[in-house]
Copies of this chain bind each other. A is one copy, B any other.
Amino acid sequence: MTGLREDRYFDSEPTVRRNARALYDSTRALPIVSPHGHVDAAVLAKNEAFTDPASLIITPDHYILRMLYSRGVPLESLGVAPIDGIPPPAEMDPRKIWQTFADHWHLFRATPTRAWLDYELREVFGIRDDLSSASAPRIYDGIVERLQSPEFRPRALFRRFNIEVLATTDAPSDTLEHHKALRTEDLGGRVIPTFRPDTLFRIAAPGWAGEIDRLGRATGATIRSSADMLKALARRRAEFKAMGATATDHAVIVPRTERLPDAEAERLFANALAGRASDEDQGRFEAHLLMEMARLSIEDGLVMQLHPGSLRNHNELVHRRFGPDRGGDIPVATEFTRNLRPLLKAYGNDPHFQLIVFTLDESTYSRELAPLAGHYPAMLLGAPWWFHDSVEGMMRFRQQTTETAGIENTAGFADDTRAFCSIPARHDLARRVDANYLGGLVARHVIDMSDALEMARSLAYDLAKRAYRLT
């Protein structure tokens, strides 16, 4: 295996590498804290064997789908089912899907997808071959064989991965039945939900009324007003908290924050119920609800996460035919200094409030986010996210935020993954990159080794626990 050398991702300069290795050795065996991700709790609750490498690794991974699609590989050939009913249908043979993927493996050179999968094949599945067109069938068989054994059931892997906490992401109307079921299981760690009510905020979206209905049913109430909705949200937050949740999550395109007068909020809500909400209405209502979420966070103690700046489903053809999360989400420039000001004015000095902010716009690291997090007690920087969860991306994050905000105003690593088996790969990569970053600082005498050892542990473990109130 080429991508899995012992010193991978460390600078080759001997002093840096020696430092990096020592630092990584001090964190590699720490338990995994995964405070933000998209694994389905049902996978662990049901604990059924994964069926095959294609449906486990390829079809659900938007990083893989986007790259293959960009080079002309039809999504149908990767097992992605069209939802518009128009032929051709999706390829159903997982072996063929796997082969198509392997035939295009060179596209992923120098990408994090390759780094993660190299780890997954070797460390999770014990495959010793490099992936290639030729080795693809053999590797496929090897994975299938392992998937059939009890050691590769989800809960066995959970234990093997040494996961202390795994947070999922869940809709406000979710029954949390799987989380409930898991609370009585001995997993060697806990699985907790995260409250993510985005769909209820998007009052101009076609499905919004249905979301309101679902929330109503989930809370046994009829929701006829903004006040009703907030009451229902508060109730569901409490129920999530009872199932172990410590955080909420909010995705918007523009991170506007603004408290509206009650009457104005109600007017927007009534408009929306009547199907007349405009995009600007939605922007204002979202801005208002972010303020309300912060207020509720102070009451119930749930940490608030904000993920702005992704224009979802940019490719309308792909979205119409295949639905969301197929690789067509594209970032936009994001403004934080002015947009977050009302929220930070109201709550940013409150010791009970914790706000974790992520970005896809790296130009804001040094310009806005580090200065904000390096001043407001309530605000922390989220881990480098999505496209930036990579060797170079994480390095840029550290280099552009640490000098202003320090590492203590960051929230540690979050793998943000749907792919359960990639969890240890992602944490391993992050620990290596942080070890290399710190090892470089030691080599340049910016910090000394005893500092670096404490910082490495913080980045790998302590900061996430503290930021997400998981202690």
Contact = CB atoms under 8 A, between A and B. Distances in A.
Interface of A: 2-5, 7-13, 15-16, 66-67, 69-72, 106-112, 115, 311, 314-318, 327-333, 335, 337-338, 341, 344-345, 348-349, 351, 360-363, 366-368, 370-377, 379, 387-388, 390-393, 399-400, 402-409, 440-441, 443-448, 450-451, 454-455
A66 B366 contact: no
A173 to B, nearest CB: 31
A417 to B, nearest CB: 16
Nearest to A110: B402
Contact of A446 (B9, B361, B368, B448): B9
B344 A315 contact: yes
A409 B71 contact: yes
* Copies of this chain, count: 3
A316 B344 CA distance: 9
Going nearest first, the 5 A-B pairs with the smallest beta carbon separation are A2-B448, A12-B443, A8-B445, A5-B445, A12-B15
A441 to B, nearest CB: 6
Contacts of A7: 445
A451 B109 contact: yes
30 contacts: A2-B448, A7-B445, A11-B13, A11-B444, A12-B440, A69-B377, A72-B377, A106-B408, A106-B451, A107-B406, A109-B406, A110-B406, A110-B441, A110-B455, A111-B402, A111-B404, A315-B345, A328-B375, A330-B368, A330-B372, A331-B368, A332-B335, A332-B337, A333-B363, A361-B363, A362-B363, A363-B367, A390-B403, A391-B403, A392-B400
Nearest to A402: B110
Given A337-B331, A445-B2, A366 B393 contact: yes
Nearest to A5: B445
Contacts of A402: 110-111, 392
A4 B444 CA distance: 11
Contacts of A3: 445-448
Contacts of A399: 392
B330 A2 contact: no
A111 B406 contact: yes
A429 B224 CA distance: 62
A380 to B, nearest CB: 9
A13 B13 contact: yes
Nearest to A327: B375
Contacts of A108: 406
Nearest to A335: B333
Contacts of A404: 111, 387, 390
Contacts of A448: 2-3
Nearest to A341: B314
Contacts of A348: 315
A398 to B, nearest CB: 9
Given A109-B451, A111-B406, 4 more contacts: A3-B446, A9-B444, A66-B375, A363-B363
Nearest to A351: B72
B337 A367 contact: no
A447 B115 CA distance: 9
Contact of A110 (B329, B337, B393, B447): B447
